[in-house]
């Protein structure tokens, strides 16, 4: 699993691709706390646009649905290079509604990764189906397509690949299997706004895709928000109805649905932020490249971005066997590190009844002990990165 050779190659590729290189010099200035994510810095940079958008909604008093939600849906579909986007209450709501729109329910099985946020599997269970886990690839941390076929049964209905940390999953291999067995492919793109796989954007890589606008995501609202994106008009119409009480018009409810709409204030904020997303993602990539260069000669395992994807670095995640110790030491120095994720879902107490034991998914289990997320956001300065790297180098060597 530890692949130093691979890492060096990638670091070298990154160096070749770079327009500038980032020679590492220890910092000179005294240190300030460095957060994992800095939402204040982003607000300060676009305050006028955000304030104007919020005022527009408040003055119009059109708080539920209406023009703000439709305008954002149109802009976000275009951004994803897809036909339809439907605004919903959160990324979790997006996953749940996508599953319901695909007709998934009791007796069905859905294949996904145990190395993800709880919502990916939780929504499968809430839809009445059973999550079936498959281990991840040790280089990308995404669903390992080679392991999928083994767990397919006559009850399998869908596969949910997660584009973890902002790197798209291996979609061609997943589609090949889905096609052979007649399964839906539902993207969990909650961490991958703007990412590309073989030139195509996350959100247009499956039958239906789910986005979260949780505040710290690459495109974040000022509260909860999400979207379902698809090229399938029937699925779009199903989600549109189900998010709003199964309505076909104001007073007609064709079926039972839910109250899981995107609110207008969040839509207006997201519309103001969307034009900046590509620049923010580019800034994340530049910061990722800098970390990777500065850590290349250490025993830290840095991320590998595959050549046919465009990674958007929602998280910049390194690996070390001494993770817990390094995590504590960095926190003590005021460096906001995180762990995504310390317990794979098959080992969560809530999923005890699925019956997966320790050792069921060895790659996920090992990663859950070794991964460490470093501070990553578009406004992160070179000086801050220098401080993070210096602290890491002192600890790991």
Minimum Å distance from CB 260 to ligand PLP? Answer: 11
Minimum Å distance from CB 122 to ligand PLP? Answer: 9
Instruction: Please say which residue, 123 or 230, places its beta carbon nearer to ligand PLP.
Output: 123
Do residues 291 and 175 make contact, with C-beta atoms less than 8 angstroms apart? no
CA dihedral (318, 322, 328, 334) positive or negative: negative
Instruction: Please say which residue, 119 or 219, places its beta carbon nearer to ligand PLP.
Output: 119
| Residue with the shortest CB distance to ligand PLP | 91
Q: Which of 165, 214, 294, 351 binds ligand PLP (CB under 6 A)?
A: 214
Half-sphere exposure (Cβ direction) of 360: Cα atoms closer than 13 Å: 17
Minimum Å distance from CB 294 to ligand PLP? Answer: 26
Do residues 113 and 143 make contact, with C-beta atoms less than 8 angstroms apart? yes
Binding of ligand PLP at residue 368 (CB under 6 A)?
Answer: no
Instruction: Please say which residue, 161 or 296, places its beta carbon nearer to ligand PLP.
Output: 161
Instruction: Supply the Cα-derived Rg of the chain in whole angstroms.
Output: 21
Instruction: Please say which residue, 190 or 337, places its beta carbon nearer to ligand PLP.
Output: 190
Minimum Å distance from CB 224 to ligand PLP? Answer: 6
Instruction: Please say which residue, 90 or 364, places its beta carbon nearer to ligand PLP.
Output: 90
Minimum Å distance from CB 391 to ligand PLP? Answer: 26
Token pair 């005294």: residue:
30
Q: With CB under 6 A as the contact rule, which of the stretches 66-74, 76-84, 184-192, 251-259 interacts with ligand PLP? A: 184-192
Q: Which of 112, 191, 281, 364 binds ligand PLP (CB under 6 A)?
A: 191
Instruction: Please say which residue, 114 or 226, places its beta carbon nearer to ligand PLP.
Output: 226
Length of the chain: 397
Instruction: Please say which residue, 11 or 164, places its beta carbon nearer to ligand PLP.
Output: 164
What are the two backbone dihedrals, phi and then psi, of residue 319, each rounded to the nearest 5 degrees?
A: -130, 140
Could you say which residues in the range 49-78 bind ligand PLP, by CB under 6 A? none
Instruction: Please say which residue, 120 or 230, places its beta carbon nearer to ligand PLP.
Output: 120
User: Nearest Cα to 192, choosing from 41, 79, 34, 320?
Assistant: 79
Q: Which of 38, 108, 188, 310 binds ligand PLP (CB under 6 A)?
A: 188
Minimum Å distance from CB 215 to ligand PLP? Answer: 9
Half-sphere exposure (Cβ direction) of 284: Cα atoms closer than 13 Å: 33
Instruction: Provide the angle, in degrees to the nearest 10, between the axes of the packed helices 47-60 and 264-273.
Output: 150
Instruction: Please say which residue, 218 or 384, places its beta carbon nearer to ligand PLP.
Output: 218
Minimum Å distance from CB 285 to ligand PLP? Answer: 19
Q: Which of 10, 136, 158, 162 binds ligand PLP (CB under 6 A)?
A: 162
Q: Which of 131, 226, 338, 375 binds ligand PLP (CB under 6 A)?
A: 226
Task: Supply angle C-alpha 327, 113, 342, rounded to 5.
Answer: 20
Instruction: Please say which residue, 14 or 97, places its beta carbon nearer to ligand PLP.
Output: 97
Minimum Å distance from CB 69 to ligand PLP? Answer: 16
- CA pair distance 209, 187, nearest whole angstrom: 4
| Number of residues located near ligand PLP, criterion CB under 6 A | 15
Residues 6+ apart with CB under 8 A from 195: 163, 166, 167, 168, 189, 201, 202, 281, 309, 310, 311, 312
Instruction: Please say which residue, 167 or 230, places its beta carbon nearer to ligand PLP.
Output: 167
Q: Which of 140, 156, 204, 212 binds ligand PLP (CB under 6 A)?
A: 212
The reply to whether omega before 277 is within 30° of 0 (cis) is: no
Minimum Å distance from CB 86 to ligand PLP? Answer: 15
Could you say which residues in the range 81-140 bind ligand PLP, by CB under 6 A? 90-92, 116-117, 119-120
**In the complex, which residues of this chain contact ligand PLP (CB under 6 A)?**
90-92, 116-117, 119-120, 162, 188, 190-191, 212, 214, 224, 226
């Amino acid at each position: 699993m530890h692949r130093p050779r691979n890492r060096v190659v990638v670091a070298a590729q990154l160096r070749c691709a770079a327009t500038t290189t980032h020679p590492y010099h220890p910092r000179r200035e005294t240190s300030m706390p460095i957060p994992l994510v800095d939402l204040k810095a982003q607000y300060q940079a676009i305050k006028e646009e955000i304030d104007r958008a919020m005022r527009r909604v408040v003055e119009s008093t059109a708080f539920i649905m209406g023009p703000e939600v439709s305008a954002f849906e149109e802009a976000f579909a275009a951004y994803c290079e897809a036909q339809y986007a439907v605004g919903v209450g959160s990324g979790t709501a997006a996953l749940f509604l996508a599953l319901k729109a695909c007709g998934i329910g009791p007796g069905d099985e859905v294949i996904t990764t145990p190395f993800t946020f709880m919502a990916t599997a939780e929504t499968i269970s809430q839809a009445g189906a059973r999550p079936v886990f498959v281990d991840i690839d040790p280089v990308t941390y995404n669903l390992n397509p080679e392991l999928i076929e083994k767990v397919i049964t006559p009850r399998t209905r869908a596969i949910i690949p997660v584009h973890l940390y902002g790197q798209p999953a291996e979609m061609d291999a997943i589609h090949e299997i889905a096609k052979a067995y007649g399964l839906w492919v539902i993207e969990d793109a909650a961490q991958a706004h703007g990412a590309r796989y073989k030139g195509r954007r996350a959100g247009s890589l499956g039958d239906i895709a789910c986005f979260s606008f949780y505040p710290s995501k690459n495109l974040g609202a000022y509260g909860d928000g999400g979207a379902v994106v698809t090229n399938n008009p029937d699925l779009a119409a199903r989600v549109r109805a189900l998010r709003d009480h199964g309505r076909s018009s104001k007073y007609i409810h064709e079926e039972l649905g839910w109250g899981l709409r995107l609110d207008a204030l969040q839509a207006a904020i997201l519309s103001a932020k969307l034009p900046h997303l590509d620049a923010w993602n580019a800034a994340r990539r530049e910061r990722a490249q800098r970390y990777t260069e500065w850590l290349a000669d250490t025993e830290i395992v840095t991320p590998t971005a595959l050549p046919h994807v465009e990674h958007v670095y929602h998280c910049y995640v390194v690996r070390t066997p001494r993770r817990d110790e390094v995590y504590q030491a960095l926190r003590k120095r005021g460096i906001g590190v995180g762990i995504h994720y310390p317990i794979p879902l098959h080992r969560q107490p809530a999923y005890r009844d699925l019956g997966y034991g320790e050792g069921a998914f060895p790659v996920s289990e090992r990663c859950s002990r070794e991964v460490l997320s470093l501070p990553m956001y578009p406004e992160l300065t070179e000086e801050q990165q220098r401080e993070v790297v210096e602290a890491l180098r002192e600890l790991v060597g």
